[in-house]
Amino acid sequence: MKFNVGNEVNKWLSRGLDRHVRLAVTGLSRAGKTAFITSLVNQLLHTSTNPNLPLFPPVRDGCIIGAKRVSQPDMCMARFGYDEGMTRLMSSPPTWPEPTSDVSQIRLAIKYYPQHGALKYVQSDATLYLDIIDYPGEWLLDLPMLAQTFEEWSAQQFQSMSERRRGLAGEWLNAAAQLDLNSTADENQLAQISQLYTDFLHQCKQDAGLHWVQPGRFVLPGELAGAPVLQFFPVDPQQLAAADEASSDSMLALLKQRFEYYKSHVIKPFYKQHFVKFDRQIILVDCLQPLNQGPESFNDMRQAFNYLVDSFRYGRNTLLKRLFSPSIDKVLFAATKADHVTPEQHLNLISLMQQMVHEAYQQASFEGITMDCMSLASISATSPGFVSHKGEQMPALRGTNLQGDACTLFPGEVPKRLPDANFWQQQGFDFQPFRPAVYPSDEPLPHIRMDKALQFLLGDKF
Ligand SMILES: Nc1nc2c(ncn2[C@@H]2O[C@H](COP(=O)(O)OP(=O)(O)OP(=O)(O)O)[C@@H](O)[C@H]2O)c(=O)[nH]1
Ligand SMILES: [Mg+2]
């Protein structure tokens, strides 16, 4: 039963019950955060005219009236480049939104007829404000540094130096080995060695497809490019042990000062500003690209991912909680870019992802946080179908490769479990990147399970 209590009262009531959700979209670099946010905004903007969200009941059942972009709360932050992203997707040939190089924000107002709580008895609409920020994935990996001393951070960096990394680090390691940590601080020498360290981090990412790269601002400095706070590097624990602690104007003292300054003036403010007050979190993982790049890249991605979820641990006495006390009640783990594999592989993709996140999952469940795991494609670039092979119908994908050629292919099987050494020897993966398809400008972007993700993240708020 609805009560007609008059327009003014309705308005007053509904305003009082307007709601806010702050959604943290988390993921390593290239996991698909910007594509996810772009699609989410696009899907919600289309709810009034042309919805394509059958698994999102508030839209399916007509409870959502419509959505629009409104002024964001933080006027010092850049606007999320939704229009720029859409322009790229709609251009000819279509291209993906650009990699993110700084923080930006978007606020959507979603008008709806309330289905829950007191408002459902009132003939009025209410508004749900949804705040999302986008930022470079690299910056997320800095959070664990907050709990480390310079010595601990250095030890960790050197312990995890694989053969491959050591091969890339030659110039930096040689230069750092010549450094006299007890000598009087020389800013120029530190700047030169820091540059070699930064080059090494870039090579880890670009040449070796590795994910775990710290500090994040070294590879994506934003407005800090060239600043002394980005001029330090880890020191070999043996060299550290031999160094004298006493002098406060030594090379070592300056390295430590910069490390601490980076923690307090770069990492902390980033988290404080953006991750304190989020309610819901989606953690996006691209399992496919690292499978393509081989065991080292895959294992490195897993390690980076573990550090990432470790720093988001949801318990009461965790780093994030102690420092920022976010109040999160739902977390969704999503394997992205599911349109790169044929539909019958989606279950394997989820199962692989479940294995990866298993520990974080257990921990969050223990804390009473509602969790789920799914696979999705924010912006589908392929269409599934079948091809005949030796008289049999085989699943296949149709899309356009990055060179612009139409192709039909079976990209391969996704392993159900974390691949072991045998598995890597027997099997190679070839998950091709695709160019975005040509999308009609008046229709929402095609997707896989964005509606299911929206239902998990927002469904109970309407
Ligand atoms: N086919 C397909 N490709 C996708 C999808 N989402 C992302 N991609 C691909 O993955 C790339 C990276 O996606 P982004 O959304 O830019 O990733 P990000 O997490 O924002 O990356 P950073 O900004 O570097 O942190 C895109 O350029 C696309 O090539 C998807 O749903 N389908
Ligand atoms: Mg991005």
Is there an atom of ligand 1 within 6 Å of 30 CB? yes
Task: Please tell me the distance between residue 296's alpha carbon and the centre of ligand 2 in angstroms.
Answer: 24
Contacts (Cβ under 8 Å, ≥6 apart) of 183: 250, 251
Amino acid at 82: Y
> Given the CA of residue 39, which atom of ligand 1 is nearest to it?
31
Is there an atom of ligand 1 within 6 Å of 94 CB? no
What stretches of 28-112 adopt beta strand conformation (E)? 64-70, 78-79, 104-112
The pLDDT value recorded for residue 321 is: 64
The pLDDT value recorded for residue 314 is: 62
Q: Using an 8 Å Cβ cutoff, are 189 and 207 in contact?
A: no
Neighbours of ion ligand 2 (CB under 5 A): 33-34, 100
Q: Using an 8 Å Cβ cutoff, are 413 and 348 in contact?
A: yes
Q: Using an 8 Å Cβ cutoff, are 97 and 85 in contact?
A: yes
Q: Is 200 helix (H, G, I), strand (E, B) or coil?
A: helix
Query: What is the C-alpha to C-alpha distance for residues 424 and 418, in angstroms, rounded to an integer?
Result: 10
Q: Is 332 helix (H, G, I), strand (E, B) or coil?
A: strand
Chain position carrying tokens 């750092």: 176
The pLDDT value recorded for residue 265 is: 97
Q: What is the dihedral of CA 272, 277, 282, 285, to 10 degrees?
A: 10
Q: How would you write the pLDDT of the chain (462 residues) with one tens digit per residue? A: 455 555 665 555 555 567 899 999 999 989 999 999 999 999 999 999 989 999 999 999 999 999 999 998 888 889 999 999 999 999 999 999 999 988 999 999 999 998 766 666 665 789 999 999 999 988 888 988 998 999 999 999 999 899 999 999 999 999 999 999 999 999 999 999 999 999 999 999 998 889 999 999 999 998 899 999 999 999 999 999 988 776 889 999 999 999 999 999 999 999 888 877 788 999 999 999 888 888 888 989 988 888 887 777 665 566 666 666 667 888 899 999 999 999 999 999 999 999 988 877 777 777 778 889 999 999 999 999 988 878 888 899 999 999 999 999 888 889 999 988 888 888 767 788 999 999 998 999 999 999 999 999 999 999
Region of 337 please: left (phi>0), alpha (psi -120 to 50) or beta: left
Task: Please tell me the distance between residue 430's alpha carbon and the centre of ligand 1 in angstroms.
Answer: 17
Is there an atom of ligand 1 within 6 Å of 137 CB? yes
Q: Using an 8 Å Cβ cutoff, are 295 and 427 in contact?
A: no
The pLDDT value recorded for residue 427 is: 73
Is there an atom of ligand 1 within 6 Å of 97 CB? yes
Q: Using an 8 Å Cβ cutoff, are 335 and 376 in contact?
A: yes
Ligand 1 probe mutation, 33, 42, 104, 220, most atoms within 8 A of CB: 33
Task: Please tell me the distance between residue 30's alpha carbon and the centre of ligand 1 in angstroms.
Answer: 5
Burial class (CB in 10 A: 0-12, 13-18, 19+), 336: buried
Is there an atom of ligand 1 within 6 Å of 283 CB? no
Query: What is the C-alpha to C-alpha distance for residues 276 and 326, in angstroms, rounded to an integer?
Result: 5
Query: What is the C-alpha to C-alpha distance for residues 135 and 322, in angstroms, rounded to an integer?
Result: 23
Is there an atom of ligand 1 within 6 Å of 337 CB? yes
DSSP letter string over 12-45? HHHHHT-EEEEEEEEESTTSSHHHHHHHHHHHHH
Angle at 324 between CA 319 and CA 329, to 5 degrees: 90
The pLDDT value recorded for residue 12 is: 56
Domain positions in the chain are: 16-140+273-381+438-461, 153-270
Task: Please tell me the distance between residue 134's alpha carbon and the centre of ligand 2 in angstroms.
Answer: 7
Q: Using an 8 Å Cβ cutoff, are 266 and 135 in contact?
A: no
Query: How distant, in Å, are the alpha carbons of 72, 106, 269, 275, 286 from that of 131?
Result: 8, 6, 18, 12, 24
Query: Both tokens of residue 104?
Result: 């930006």
Task: Please tell me the distance between residue 335's alpha carbon and the centre of ligand 2 in angstroms.
Answer: 16
Closest ligand relative to 26 C-alpha: 1
Chain position carrying tokens 């390295």: 255
Chain position carrying tokens 């045998």: 422
Contacts (Cβ under 8 Å, ≥6 apart) of 2: 121, 122, 123
Nearest CA to ligand 1 atom 5: 337
Query: What is the C-alpha to C-alpha distance for residues 58 and 47, in angstroms, rounded to an integer?
Result: 10
Nearest CA to ligand 1 atom 27: 96
Closest ligand relative to 335 C-alpha: 1
Strand partners, 348: none
Query: What is the C-alpha to C-alpha distance for residues 381 and 373, in angstroms, rounded to an integer?
Result: 22
Ligand 1 probe mutation, 40, 41, 96, most atoms within 8 A of CB: 96
Q: What is the dihedral of CA 321, 323, 327, 329, to 10 degrees?
A: -40
Amino acid at 372: D
CA-closest candidate to residue 95, choices 437, 448, 443, 447 = 437
The enclosing H or E element of 87 equals helix 82-90
283: phi then psi, degrees, rounded to nearest 5: -110, 115
The pLDDT value recorded for residue 125 is: 87
> Given the CA of residue 38, which atom of ligand 1 is nearest to it?
15
CATH assignment of 16-140+273-381+438-461, among 1.10.10.60, 3.40.50.300, 3.40.190.10, 3.40.50.261: 3.40.50.300
CA-closest candidate to residue 38, choices 400, 438, 450 = 450
Contacts (Cβ under 8 Å, ≥6 apart) of 324: 271, 272, 275, 276
